[in-house]
Amino acid sequence: MPYSDLPPQAFWKLCRTDPEFLTTAIYRPKFPLAPGMRVATAGSCFAQNVGRYIRASELDFVDAEPAPPGMGQDTQTRFGYGLYSARYGNVYTARQLRQLVEDAWSGTVHDAAVWSNGGRYYDGLRPNVEPGGLASAGEVRAQRRDHLRRVRRMFAQTDVFIFTLGLTEAWADRESGLVFPTAPGVVAGRFDPARHHFVNFGMAETFEDLAAALAILRAARPGLRVILTVSPVPLTATASGDHVLVATTYSKSVLRAVAGELAALDPATDYFPSYEIIAGLPFGTRHYQDNLRNVTRAGVDAAMGVFFAAHSGLRPVPHPVPLKVCDCAPSDVATEEQTEVCEEAMLAAFDAA
Amino acid sequence: MSLCVIGNSHVGMLRAAAQSGWRGPPLVYFAKAGGGIERARVRGSVIIADDPDLVAAQRRYGLPTEIDVADCEAVIFVAGTASLFNAAQVLQSHRLSDPVGPGGGGSAGAELAERDPRQLLSQAAFVDALADRARAGYSHRFATALRRATGVPMFLVPQPFPGEAVLDAPPPHGPLFRRLRASGEGAAVVAPLALALERAFAGIEGLHLLLQPEDTVAHGFLTARAFTRDAVRVNGATPQHGGDFLHVGAVFGSRVLDRVATVLNG
């Protein structure tokens, strides 16, 4: 019988007998991680948690754009330092990753991504990394060129790239086809309906974008290993016209399926089920805060605990320092507020209330 | 009533000034050269030396091991905040991207910029990084803590810019500062540094920031030789060694005390 030799975790009923739903067996890495391996991260805001754990581990977190000496943690976070392996901000969609990689390899700086507001200029492809903007369009271009050079260098020294897929929805520039991490006007820039339009990527596009990005990276770095994850954070808002729950289900389904398919096709690409560990039905809402959107620290701990436990060559990682550091008392720091930098969450400001 | 001076070896300039004909209120010092002052403790309006090295340093000069600053006419914090050295340190790994600045991408030229391995940094990030440095120093910590207990006027005297002699210093300082002069980056960091200090101390009511006067500056970012020639150690009497490029002396210190007096009398 085909099912007779399967392990307990293959059966829902047997998983149900375990309070943790046998998550100890939910992740079997395709390739082992060992101390000193150079790991780079990118993705949606949930990926910032992954980066914190990697930093705290025996792995070597690649930081291609370190903060200047003396800059405090809060300031680093505000300027996008240390959140990921370079200052690209949140890379929510596979198309954004593809754009980033293509631009890094071609050295392309897009005029359509230079936004202005009140005399200040922003990089529309990462509007959050300079919260007050820059002095001129020329400075934005210079910063972007420098950034792209460092992104390319980052991948050249990376052994393992962990990418967390977050969304399928994005806003794009009609003429150039560029997609942005957030709608123009939310963080910076101005929304122009004649110029900007909504896109919701499907399976084929998402697969193609991710595969194209990885192909460029592999051509430059043949031994690069990739770990894909899907953010368990629901959409803050959808512009698809659907109910936000329907839109979230669609988005996460596409991303989960693409990640799974790519991992199935490529021996050097793995899938880590952080989505299942946090959002999975057996766990109800236990890993979410009261808004049913932000993941609790315990939820992040649960997912990353599984990750490091599965890599037997690595020591477990104690809970790393949260991103947000303030002068308040320790008891205040321990609140379950959102600690990630997330442009997408800013869409909540546009709700009907 | 006295003026309470809290700081490191740079306190020497005020001691030297006080010993050279200062006619204002007497000065009382809470100071230690070479690190250690940051280990002082604040309880209410009292600053206390309970670290053995700090206690020893105070006693060596017959100074009190605790001072209630509420009994003073004013407190003068010396150094212990962001300095030009901190700015120079940032510029070793980073380069300002603002094209309007002398050290920016525009004036440096695109080609030169392409060859420069340093990471680009915005003015805003630079200022905030220096402001973080300033907040992390003992002056900010002591001023914040003491302000909770007393409304005594406060002054901050940032560490003077390095002396011109730094240009002749052996590596690493000499080559670094010569490069900063040649590129214009040294002069370009003075304004962001001042802004960072203003920003860091803005929340402390009644604190007067005494930025380095322009007429004491050479090459746009160094202290002119006229003010370092008489550089002294923390006791205000012993001259600094010949290779010193950090300290100033009584001439500079007198300028500081005059500005303090002007504010207090104004």
Domain borders along chain A are 32-350
Contact at CB, B97 and A65, closer than 8 angstroms: no
d(C-alpha B262, C-alpha B266), whole Å: 6
**Residue position matching structure tokens 């962990």:** A162
Assigned domain for B153 exists? yes
Assigned domain for B138 exists? yes
Average pLDDT over residues B200-210: 97
Using CA coordinates, name the residue in chain B closest to A134.
Answer: B122
What's the pLDDT band for B6 if we cut at 50, 70, 90?
Answer: very high
pLDDT tens digits along B56-108: 988 988 889 999 999 999 999 999 999 999 999 999 999 999 844 444 444 44
Mean pLDDT across chain A, nearest whole number?
91
Assigned domain for B88 exists? no
Contact at CB, B113 and A130, closer than 8 angstroms: no
Look up the domain containing B20 and give its range.
3-83+133-163+193-261
Q: In this predicted model, which residue has the larger pLDDT, B266 or A59?
A: A59
What's the pLDDT band for A259 if we cut at 50, 70, 90?
Answer: very high
Contact at CB, A69 and B129, closer than 8 angstroms: yes
CB proximity B121 to A under 8 Å: yes
Using CA coordinates, name the residue in chain A closest to B89.
Answer: A69
What's the pLDDT band for A318 if we cut at 50, 70, 90?
Answer: confident
Contact at CB, B125 and A79, closer than 8 angstroms: yes
Give chain B's domain count: 1
Among the partner-chain residues A132, A136, A142, the one whose CB lies closest to the CB of B124 is: A132
pLDDT of B101: 46
Contact at CB, A68 and B125, closer than 8 angstroms: yes
The β-bridge relationship of strands A38-43 and A160-165 is parallel
Average pLDDT over residues B166-192: 95
Assigned domain for B14 exists? yes
Say which residues have a Cβ less than 8 Å from residue A341's Cβ, sequence separation at least 6: A45, A48, A77, A78, A80, A83, A89, A90, A128, A323
Which DSSP string do the residues of B133-148 spell out, in sequence order? Answer: HHHHSHHHHHHHHHHT
Among the partner-chain residues A69, A70, A134, the one whose CB lies closest to the CB of B122 is: A134
B232 pLDDT above the threshold of 70? yes
Q: In this predicted model, which residue has the larger pLDDT, B243 or A42?
A: A42
The β-bridge relationship of strands A60-61 and A38-43 is parallel
Rounded to whole angstroms, the maximal C-alpha distance in chain A is 71
d(C-alpha A258, C-alpha A169), whole Å: 15
What's the pLDDT band for B13 if we cut at 50, 70, 90?
Answer: very high
Do A150 and A213 form a contact (C-beta atoms < 8 A)?
A: no
CB proximity A146 to B under 8 Å: yes
Q: Which of A325-334, B40-49, B105-114 has the lowest average pLDDT?
A: A325-334
pLDDT tens digits along A52-107: 999 999 999 999 999 999 999 999 999 999 999 999 999 999 999 999 999 999 99
Q: Å from B234 to nearest chain A CA?
A: 26
pLDDT of A193: 95
CA-CA-CA-CA torsion for A157, A161, A165, A169, nearest 10 degrees?
A: 20
CATH number, domain of B78, equals 3.40.50
Q: In this predicted model, which residue has the larger pLDDT, A328 or A66?
A: A66
Percent of chain B with pLDDT over 90: 85
CB proximity A138 to B under 8 Å: yes
A305-315 per-residue burial string, b: 16 or more CB within 10 A, e: under 16:
bbbbebbeebe
- Most A-contacting residue of B95, B97, B126 (CB-CB within 10 A), to test interface: B97
Q: Structure tokens of A8?
A: 């307990």
What's the pLDDT band for A332 if we cut at 50, 70, 90?
Answer: very low
Helices assigned H by DSSP within chain B: 12-18, 52-60, 84-93, 105-108, 110-115, 123-136, 138-147, 173-183, 185-188, 190-201, 250-265
- Residues of chain B neighbouring A134 (CB-CB closer than 8 A): 97-98, 122
CB proximity B156 to A under 8 Å: no
A335 pLDDT above the threshold of 70? no
